[in-house]
Chain A
């Protein structure tokens, strides 16, 4: 009877919006503290040292398992160098026969890396982006990692650069840097027609930028190439690449139905998405090259 009353009271309180715990004292006693498992302690150096036998056995067993899986996969692969392998005839023939028709690029390599295997090239551009971002993370100067001594050295370098009496490097940079950058742009834009493409052209543009920066100094470079433009170009290039290729993958990975006009093979405006993709890759590579140079020398772009 009493218990029922208690329960009723409890329900009433619960309806009213209060929180009532039945038998509060008992509850507190029986409530045990949750034991938190400390994973770091469980796998610390001491415990591993204590269980050397177990861990040694486990490491050998796991490596043996993976080696076995890999060897069994390799065993199933076709023999290396066999002339009847699919790699040696079907793929190559297909690329050479229907490459121009399917990609619209006269340069087969561009058609391969930016159309058949565009996803792979996207990952390569991502690798470059990640590399330059980790360098920015480590070497970009701010208040925490920048001592007064380094600042003084930097100022001395700037002083030497500004008070240079012999203008050999400056005149050379003035004549050569625009030509080098122009040639790089030509290589990028002509990537689907002649040997070259985004990676090589971007490297040439980056070399021109490095020459200009080493001749005229960081301050002159920052009038048109700051950290903001650097990040904008890198991220914009990657996102444009992603959008262009997502279109292809969403429409069935073979441009089925929604084909982009291929144009006449040999024209500069042809080959579907290869030209914009080349431009994206070239911009990313050029920014990466210059970013490495600037970050390693001055710690700022």
Chain B
């Protein structure tokens, strides 16, 4: 039973990663691609790690895995935000590109 729940979580995370990779190659503009890439870094990673936590059921291993989630949920969106900020600040034709694509 436990393994089944863990497998569901891990497969969900893999599907999210698949979608995000698909999005990175599908979209053409930076901001759209950032949107797709951030999906895998947050939701996909979190569901895979939750699946591993359920699979292991050890308190200290679970705490370490939780720290991984915490780190990625802090650093990933911040990195995404700063990349998007640089794009908006430096790309002069940014409004045209947003409307086109």
- Whether B78 and A172, one on each chain, are in contact in the complex, defined by CB atoms closer than 8 angstroms, is yes
Q: Please name the residue on chain B nearest to A170 by beta carbon.
A: B78
Contact among B71, B78, B89 with A169 in the assembled complex (CB-CB below 8 Å): B78
Q: Which of A148-175 contact B (CB under 8 A)?
A: 160, 166, 168-169, 172, 175
Contacts of B74 on A, CB cut-off 8 Å? 172, 175-176
The docked-state distance in angstroms from the alpha carbon of A85 to that of B89 is: 61
The docked-state distance in angstroms from the alpha carbon of A172 to that of B85 is: 15
How many chain B residues touch A (CB < 8 A): the figure is 8
Contact among A169, A175, A179 with B82 in the assembled complex (CB-CB below 8 Å): A169
The docked-state distance in angstroms from the alpha carbon of A176 to that of B70 is: 11
Q: Please name the residue on chain A nearest to B89 by beta carbon.
A: A160
- Whether A168 and B81, one on each chain, are in contact in the complex, defined by CB atoms closer than 8 angstroms, is yes
Contacts of B89 on A, CB cut-off 8 Å? 160
Interface size class of A (residues with CB under 8 A): under 10
The docked-state distance in angstroms from the alpha carbon of A172 to that of B81 is: 11
Q: Which of A110-127 contact B (CB under 8 A)?
A: none
Q: Which of B44-101 contact A (CB under 8 A)?
A: 71, 74-75, 78, 81-82, 85, 89
Looking at B78, B81, B82, the one whose CB has the most chain A CB atoms below 10 A away is B78
Contacts of B82 on A, CB cut-off 8 Å? 168-169, 214
- Whether A176 and B75, one on each chain, are in contact in the complex, defined by CB atoms closer than 8 angstroms, is yes
The docked-state distance in angstroms from the alpha carbon of A160 to that of B71 is: 27
The docked-state distance in angstroms from the alpha carbon of A97 to that of B78 is: 48
The docked-state distance in angstroms from the alpha carbon of A164 to that of B85 is: 11
Contacts of A175 on B, CB cut-off 8 Å? 74
Q: Nearest Cβ in chain B — how far from A214, in angstroms?
A: 8
The docked-state distance in angstroms from the alpha carbon of A169 to that of B89 is: 15
The docked-state distance in angstroms from the alpha carbon of A175 to that of B73 is: 13
The 9 closest A-B pairs by CB, nearest first: A172-B78, A168-B81, A169-B82, A168-B78, A169-B78, A176-B75, A176-B74, A172-B74, A175-B74
**What are 15 A-B pairs with beta-carbon distances under 8 A?**
A160-B89, A166-B85, A168-B78, A168-B81, A169-B78, A169-B81, A169-B82, A172-B74, A175-B74, A176-B71, A176-B74, A176-B75, A176-B78, A179-B71, A214-B82
